[in-house]
Structure 1
Amino acid sequence: MNKKEDMRIIVLLQCILLLTMSTVYAQNRSFKNKNLSPEERAIDLLSKMTLEEKIMQMQCLWRGKSDFFDTGKFNAQSAAKFLPNGIGSLARTNEDMHPDAIGPHATLSPREGAIQSNQVQKFFIEETRLGIPVLIHEEGLHGQQAQDATSFPVPIGLASSWNEDLVHEVYSIVAKEIRYRGGHQVLAPVVDVVRDPRWGRTEECMGEDPFLVSRLGVAQVKAYQGKGVYLDEDHVGATLKHFGVHGQPEGGHNTAPSFIDERTTLEVFLKPFQDCIDAGVMNIMVTYNELWGIPAHANEKLLKNILRDKMGYEGIVVSDYYAIENFVKVDLVTPSESEAGYLGFKSGVDIELPDYFGFQNLETYVKEGKISEAEIDEVVTRILIEKFRLGLFDNPYVDPDRAENFVGCQKNRDVAYKAAAESMVLLKNDNKFLPLDKNEIKTIAFIGPNADRCILGGYASEPKQRISPLQALKEKYSDKMDVLYAEGVRLTDVNSPFPEVIRLVPREDNDARITEAVEIAKKADVIVLFVGSNEAVAREAYGPTAPGDMPTLDLLNGQNELIEKIVALGKPTCAFVNSGQPLSIGNLVEQVPAVMQAWFLGQETGYAIVDALFGELNPSGKLPITFPRSAGHIPAHYSYKPSARRGYNLGLDASPLFPFGYGLSYTSFEYSNLRISSNEMQKDGTIEVSVDIKNIGDREGAEVVQMYIRDDYSSVTRPVKELKGFEKVWLKQGESQTVKFSITLELLAFYDVDMNWIVEPGDFTIMVGSSSRDVKSIKLSVTE
């Protein structure tokens, strides 16, 4: 071999070595390298994408999924035809796409759902150019909206627990049930502050107070997402709903304009969003409502200046369902679907849900120079980062066996019972009427429209099991007492939130039911009334032809007549109220000695109510929302301004029926020795407030100790009091505990006249007690 040949071989070997090294280096810097950060992987993948592929990452399909499902089964050939450039998101792959599927939102079993999700992912990973997995979102308001999923109390009920640990436990289960079936993103939690209970979506919220909603919202976010940059197989990306002012729409009408000033928007309605952003939430959904005269989805000030710049949010912004389409059909800001997409994108929306309407035309605007590719890249990078964080590229498939074994299992059911138990609020209990003594009752009558119903509430599917109060009573006590039942009245023609049109049962149809109930009640030693509302009376108004809000909070359709005739019998009578919103129950409260607010408690409704009735559990809930005396008393929230609530004429009462934070127990608690570590606090300091609480009753129980603060005099008017701390404590009979709260400057701050976040020196009143009405107070002075 001569020198030239030697040289050629050496050069060839060097080339091979360099090629190998560059390949290894490229692999090390590739989006497929698990050791790189999500940001590095996203940037690498983005560099390989075409404009068409990028824009498809901003699209979603829900009803459009039917294009690539054939007789209920995923069809890869159809998907290749309709989605040659892939797609960013799919909605609810656990839905049964079969044309003969029964009912709205019919879903597959956990095993079938997991298998179908795997089929979908396999196509996008193996049959698209870059193999980008699809992000699947699911509903999980109080349990996944899917067959066999564990159904927990509605959020307004869970909020009544005032228990962050319980909320975290509940939503950790929801996260797993969603993830094990193939979902990655949950459209929850709802952190809207609700100030008008006529609104049909009140049940979806966690109350009227931003501090309480913030604490419980953060607990949900942490439960859904866990810890760490990369989420494990037990967690999903959370989505805050609904950014803007959703909970105080004009007239209580869903999606109506919100006439709220900027200071109140920031301090009240956006405070829970800020705290959840600080906790690392990955997604935010925008509200339908307009704010300051501009629809929220087209409101650049809201979505960019406030959300991105002021609040420091870096995650994904998704539209609410069909909100971009609403620009054309509801808000009337443009007649063009193409311009609607452009307007939403330029205002700060990253992904259009649930189907592409306006966003499908974004490529045209890029080619016309109205949208830069750099703007597209910024959004797509956020989407890719989330997909990497969720592990879609590294572990995209789920185990159908695990889904089948975990979803709706007994351990999850046990937590659902515990949540139902802590969600009930005892509103009245004269002379310790409750609990009943099961050994002294020979005949008991359950009377009312909700006695034999287990009401799950909205955004629910069918769990593996559910039980009504009547069923639970018969199961547990039919060998000890005779059980009687009468419906009394029927409320609606359907018991579902889904039909477009829902009607009250004709009032005259209930006359015979009331008569029957009275005759049955005459035979009983004790009567338990089950009144209130149901999942159809007040619900999400999901379209112009599907109303869901109410102009009244009254008990409907003859319930008051039923109550009066039953009470007239003179027999021992108590009542449980099921509803998703506060109701005007003054008539009921006046006539019976004991009333329990039971909300919609989920699948374990029956067991929880019957156990509370007979003292197997001690109710510990507190109201997360004020109960007004009537719809005419709205707004009724406790944190009103000093010039409000002057009173009504003719001696009519302006006070609430039950105040925020209120709730009784089967035991009694005594508050004493309220003290403060210092009566003066410098503007860079912290002080501690303490109170002693003792169980002076005859059984173990839990109490929620609440701290409120009032800025006595301020340059901008401040509420008469604001919740700034709470702690739930469990005490045995005779046991005492000292509860401590730290007061920091953040708890005293507000936006001044120039919209600066400040603390003004001066006097503050610190109040501690069992509700917003029942408090002891102490003074604090803040100095420079």
Structure 2
Amino acid sequence: MKIKQTLFLGLILLCSLGTLAQYRFKNPDLPIGVRVDDLVSQLTLEEKIGQMVNNAPAIERLGIPAYNWWNECLHGVARSPYRVTSFPQAIAMAATWDIHSVKKMADYASDEGRAIFHDSARKRNPGIFKGLTYWSPNINIFRDPRWGRGQETYGEDPFLTGAIGAAFVKGIQGDDPNYLKASACAKHYAVHNGPEWNRHTYNAEVSDFDLWDTYLVAFRELVVNAKVTGVMCAYNAFYGEPCCGNDLLMTDILRKDWGFDGYVTSDCGAIEDFFRTHKTHDDAADAAANAVLSGTDCECSHNPAYLELFDAIDAGDIAEKDIDISLKRLFKIRFRLGMFDPDERVPYANIPLSVLESDEHKEHALKMAQESIVLLKNEDDLLPLNKGKIKKIAVVGPNADSEDVLLANYYGYPSEVTTFLEGVKDKAGKDIEVVYEKGCNLVDNLVFTSEYNSKLFTSEGQYGFKAEYFQNLNWEGEPALTRLEKRPDYKWGDGQEVGDNVIASRMTARWSTVFMPEQTDEYCFNVPADDMAELYIDGVKQNKVSELYPYYILQAEKGKTYEIIIRYRQFADNAEIFFDLGTLKKTTPEDVVSVVKDADVILFAGGISSRIEGEEMPVEIEGFKKGDRTSIALPAVQLDLLKELQATGKPVVFVLMIGSAIGLEWESNNIPAIVNAWYGGQAAGTAIADVIFGDYNPAGRLPVTFYKNVDDLGDFEDYSMANRTYRYFLGTPVYPFGYGLSYTSFKYSDLRIQTANKENDATATVEVTVKNTGKVAGDEVVQLYVRDQTSGIITPIKALKGFERISLDKGEIKTVKFNLDKQTITTWHHDSDQAAEHNNFMIMVGGSSDDIKLTGKLSFAGK
């Protein structure tokens, strides 16, 4: 009996050992390379191909959970069903010129992302926008202010973009030697920055000089030095080859020259563009094979071409071993994120949900908003306002009380957003009267005033709306959820639970009610929605009366009833729907002035917003096309109002909210104070008020050039850098790159330059002394520019090669030190022998690209 028991136990042990050997990838003590190889060897071809799309399915027989690679974290976790901290938009983060703040922001955002990921996994509710692979940052060069996605970038300069981007990557990915906190992704690789309307068809062609001196600089910094673990290839073609299948970009430069060993994902739908729009490939199978062989490991698409890889293998265009290469890169990332290890082994696995919108995170959102604000003009020291001398403030403008403008694009939902109007009211307190007049919208003067009365809407004898939800995109079949609601008023993150059996992802809804007006009058229904909303009255689909805003007019009679139906479709991304009732008035500047003319000061909050600039949008109105701009002027309706306000003779402060440069020709000559507040995130209203009332001394600096008008710009579709950005622009801007005023003043002195020539490693140090010579404490952004004085080659007029934001008390002196190396400051040139002779440089240090305080020469000995 004992012999049988021993044999039986031995058999069990052998089986257990065999199982452990079969699933070595589950052993966290083994090297990741060994584990990845073992896992991939277990997969069938069908399973392998299934893992190469963003929505990778579970492989239950091996215990591999489903994973969606698509997530966003541009300025905080985006599109999440959880409430999260929303920091200032990327262009605003660049305006801080503070890499420490950016790194901390990314660290906080990845904390929130980790908490969301693990909470979702534990609740068995994973999915899109809940993962740990963030497709951020966008480090394309903002070469032309007309590009609507420039707001997502860190501006026009390669060095600044690389420095801010590297800080973001380090904050996102963490510093653990074994595990990534999250994975960052540098996008869009490469030579990609508009126009939006032809991004699926255009073929970018640039000189070798521009490619290496402008378009690849930041990507190299993030790949080689910051060790970013993901790269997204762009939609466009580059010299006739789509970027995601481009031999030069993907194989020669990214993989061979830079040694990138992370994963590459396509932009969403980019592989389909190979054969649908670029027409460079015959079909999906041909495109998929080429993309994988070029090193695109993951395809983002709702209709993946990669599923046709079976046909490509059958045709001999690609081999299974080529598939394995991509699979190993993808699984290496997942292993480094700890997805196959017990929580106790992963240092980030127990970050609690309490980090979401924690006080520390909200405080940093406020700090970054403050740091990003650029004071463009302050005639006669109008700012900061003296509250002791003000009894009445007028707040005017389309962005004054808008939350949307602050959150920009690629955003998550915070629990609370402070608008500019709210910030001013909080700061004014009880002693100062604040009057508010919207005055106009962004591009028209149709101003909606809410007069909602819930008792005018009934459904089946009760006040409210009958709500029907469908978990499909066509309102098909029986509703998955039906209930009575007060009115449509929702902000759902993608995948957020709407109710039993319904989540906000690829969802449709229908709200129905009966409207009975109290009197015969003209009524306006306002139905803003993030995706698509349609309004029907008595079965007839209504047309909007504004090109941009969802205003619908009804001439209603007292005593009659009107059947109201709202049809809403949410495809992906955030889901927003709101229903309101009120009046619509066509305003005039004179009407607005009559209300605010007795104020002591007028604060006008205008600009643009992500409603009209952004990614491949349907908007086509005067000055705007498909998300881009055709003009860089302030929309005419706002400029007309601003002129009328200025004509009152009262002090006017122009608070500009933008994601890109505006041509401020008239404004800069006529408005006494201009504050550029960008899209400042959840705490922007407080931050702007802090600056206006002097509780914060502004020190943001422009990461882009403010040109006068489109005549200063070249052809939008021409990617040559000639006469573009401060590095090559030969004209005079309204406000130069690096510019920004302060409530104090600074003096620069004692420029000291020292070189240290080592074999194959020439370096230098540059030191400068800065003193706060004003009356209050403040920050200064010390900027170092270089001109390569090598003769006979193209060089920038000047190029940023160092910067540091410092804080100085009144009268305080600090020394700022920059460490330079020859390779970094040398202008790229194709001829390596000539490039080796770059030995003489002009060093320029100052407060902006156009405000150079001190200059000196830097020379390296020999070649």
TM-score (norm 2): 0.76
The SS at the match of 2:782 is strand
- 1:698 paired residue number: 775
AA aligned to 1:430 is E
Deviations 1:415-444 (A, max 9, x none): 111110001101111221110011210001
Question: Structure 1 residue 409 and structure 2 residue 354: aligned?
Answer: no
Taking the TM superposition and a 5 Å limit, the aligned residue runs for 1:111-510 are 124=58, 127-145=60-78, 146-147=80-81, 148-182=83-117, 183-231=131-179, 235-247=181-193, 256-278=202-224, 279-395=226-342, 404-454=353-403, 455=405, 456-491=407-442, 503-504=547-548
2: CA distance between counterparts of 1:286 and 1:252? 16
Shift of 1:495: 7.4
> Are the aligned partners of 2:756 and 2:763 in contact in 1 as well (CA < 8 Å)?
no
The SS at the match of 2:92 is helix
Shift of 1:282: 1.0
2: CA distance between counterparts of 1:55 and 1:729? 51
Q: Percent identity?
A: 35
The SS at the match of 2:628 is coil
AA aligned to 2:221 is D
> Are the aligned partners of 2:148 and 2:615 in contact in 1 as well (CA < 8 Å)?
yes
The SS at the match of 1:770 is strand
AA aligned to 1:621 is G
Shift of 1:50: 1.4
- 1:719 paired residue number: 796
Q: Which has the higher helix share?
A: 1
AA aligned to 1:140 is C
Going from structure 1 to structure 2, the CA distance change for 1:751 and 1:497 (only over 3 Å counts) comes to: farther
Shift of 1:754: 3.1
Shift of 1:259: 3.0
1: CA distance between counterparts of 2:611 and 2:4? 81
Deviations 1:341-386 (A, max 9, x none): 2232233211100334210011222233321111111111111111
> Are the aligned partners of 1:510 and 1:558 in contact in 2 as well (CA < 8 Å)?
no
2: CA distance between counterparts of 1:735 and 1:414? 26
**After the TM superposition, which of the residue ranges 681-690 and 557-566 deviates more from structure 2?**
681-690
Going from structure 1 to structure 2, the CA distance change for 1:18 and 1:765 (only over 3 Å counts) comes to: same
- 2:448 paired residue number: none
Deviations 1:682-716 (A, max 9, x none): 86432221111000111110001011111113343
Shift of 1:240: 0.9
- 1:93 paired residue number: none
> Are the aligned partners of 1:763 and 1:779 in contact in 2 as well (CA < 8 Å)?
yes
AA aligned to 1:195 is R
2: CA distance between counterparts of 1:259 and 1:631? 22
The SS at the match of 2:25 is coil
- 1:603 paired residue number: 682
Out of 748, 762, 769, the residue aligned to residue 846 of structure 2 is 769
- 1:665 paired residue number: 742
Question: Structure 1 residue 39 and structure 2 residue 33: aligned?
Answer: yes
The SS at the match of 1:564 is helix
1: CA distance between counterparts of 2:756 and 2:802? 18
> Are the aligned partners of 1:504 and 1:557 in contact in 2 as well (CA < 8 Å)?
no
Shift of 1:670: 0.8
1: CA distance between counterparts of 2:223 and 2:233? 14
1: CA distance between counterparts of 2:415 and 2:408? 16
Going from structure 1 to structure 2, the CA distance change for 1:334 and 1:753 (only over 3 Å counts) comes to: closer
Question: Structure 1 residue 526 and structure 2 residue 601: aligned?
Answer: yes
The SS at the match of 1:576 is strand
Going from structure 1 to structure 2, the CA distance change for 1:339 and 1:675 (only over 3 Å counts) comes to: same
The SS at the match of 2:24 is coil
Shift of 1:410: 2.5
Shift of 1:534: 1.5
1: CA distance between counterparts of 2:434 and 2:585? 22
Question: Structure 1 residue 580 and structure 2 residue 529: aligned?
Answer: no
2: CA distance between counterparts of 1:395 and 1:519? 67
Going from structure 1 to structure 2, the CA distance change for 1:313 and 1:225 (only over 3 Å counts) comes to: same
Query: What count of residue pairs does the alignment treat as equivalent?
Result: 704
Shift of 1:298: 2.5
AA aligned to 1:26 is A
1: CA distance between counterparts of 2:290 and 2:748? 56
2: CA distance between counterparts of 1:511 and 1:9? 94
> Are the aligned partners of 1:688 and 1:740 in contact in 2 as well (CA < 8 Å)?
yes
> Are the aligned partners of 1:249 and 1:258 in contact in 2 as well (CA < 8 Å)?
no
Shift of 1:748: 2.9
- 2:21 paired residue number: 26
2: CA distance between counterparts of 1:442 and 1:195? 44
Going from structure 1 to structure 2, the CA distance change for 1:719 and 1:255 (only over 3 Å counts) comes to: farther
AA aligned to 1:503 is E
Shift of 1:11: 12
Question: Structure 1 residue 778 and structure 2 residue 856: aligned?
Answer: yes
Shift of 1:315: 0.7
> Are the aligned partners of 1:201 and 1:538 in contact in 2 as well (CA < 8 Å)?
yes
2: CA distance between counterparts of 1:496 and 1:618? 38
- 2:456 paired residue number: none
1: CA distance between counterparts of 2:644 and 2:199? 34
The SS at the match of 2:26 is coil
1: CA distance between counterparts of 2:702 and 2:629? 21
AA aligned to 1:160 is A
The SS at the match of 1:743 is strand
AA aligned to 1:738 is T
The SS at the match of 1:339 is helix
Going from structure 1 to structure 2, the CA distance change for 1:761 and 1:298 (only over 3 Å counts) comes to: closer
Going from structure 1 to structure 2, the CA distance change for 1:439 and 1:205 (only over 3 Å counts) comes to: same
Deviations 1:537-582 (A, max 9, x none): 2111158999111110111141111111111111111111001110
1: CA distance between counterparts of 2:32 and 2:809? 49
2: CA distance between counterparts of 1:582 and 1:252? 22
- 1:107 paired residue number: none
TM-score (norm 1): 0.84
Q: Which has the higher strand share?
A: 2
Going from structure 1 to structure 2, the CA distance change for 1:395 and 1:237 (only over 3 Å counts) comes to: farther
- 1:752 paired residue number: 829
Deviations 1:651-681 (A, max 9, x none): xxx2111111111111111111212125999
- 1:517 paired residue number: 592
> Are the aligned partners of 2:292 and 2:323 in contact in 1 as well (CA < 8 Å)?
no
The SS at the match of 1:677 is strand
Question: Structure 1 residue 620 and structure 2 residue 566: aligned?
Answer: no
